[in-house]
Every structure is written in C-alpha cells, then in structure tokens.
C-alpha cells in the first residue's frame, strides 16, 4: 500500500517536477499517432571502451499516464518510439523504447536507452 507521500506525489508532485525539469518529446505508441509529452531527459556522454565509442546513454522519466505520458498497461516494448536529441541542443532522432521500464510506480516511469 502506497504511503501518503507517494499518493500525494503521484497526484500532483510528479507533474510539478516535470514542469520544472522536463522537455517536450515526441512519443509514438506502436500503431498510434505521435504526440508531444514531457520527459525529464538525463543525457550521459558516450564512453570509450578499447578504442570504441558507444552512443550516449539516455535516462527518460515520464508520467505513467494514458495521455500525458507513457501508459504502462498499453506500452509496447520494441514498438513504441520517442524522437529526442541524444545530446543537448542536438537534432532529434527517432529511438525505440525497448525493454520494460527500469523503475515504475503509480506516478512515474523510468526508461534507459
């Protein structure tokens, strides 16, 4: 059973947090139409391992909501996409959301790509 804090945060705190720290991202559910949602985007620079450079890692935090975020009950791992810049100020790329969210609760979802 969620605590009072968790229930209150899910009701309004999550939206307030996104309003301050979030950015607009195009989200396209599998078989659906793209829509703009707000996500907190944490960009981690590429790492160099044995002469190879990996792509930047992104951590995406959004509402668990049918219209304002990603709706977990209808989320399609491997079929939903976001259009997002992998570097701050960069050009948006269409990237597949694969796998299940790293973290989830009634209010928020966390993805890593």
**Which of 74, 72, 70, 76 has the alpha carbon at shortest distance from 96?**
76
C-alpha pair distances (Å), 79 with each of 42, 54, 88: 22, 23, 25
56-97 per-position pLDDT tens digit: 689 999 999 899 999 988 899 889 999 999 888 899 999 999
pTM of the model as a whole: 0.80
- DSSP state letter for 72: G
What pLDDT is attached to residue 8? 66
- Give SS3 for 6: helix
6-43 per-position pLDDT tens digit: 666 666 777 888 889 999 999 999 999 999 999 999 99
What pLDDT is attached to residue 56? 63
């Amino acid at each position: 059973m969620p605590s009072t804090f968790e229930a209150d945060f899910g009701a309004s705190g999550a939206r307030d947090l996104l309003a301050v720290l979030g950015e607009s991202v195009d989200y396209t559910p599998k078989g659906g139409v793209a829509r703009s949602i707000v996500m907190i985007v944490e960009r981690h620079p590429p790492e160099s391992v044995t002469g190879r450079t990996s792509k930047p890692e992104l951590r995406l935090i959004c509402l668990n909501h049918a219209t304002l975020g990603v709706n977990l009950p209808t989320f399609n791992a491997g079929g939903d996409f976001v259009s997002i810049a992998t570097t701050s100020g960069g050009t948006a790329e269409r990237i597949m959301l694969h796998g299940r969210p790293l973290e989830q609760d009634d209010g928020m979802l966390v993805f890593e790509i």
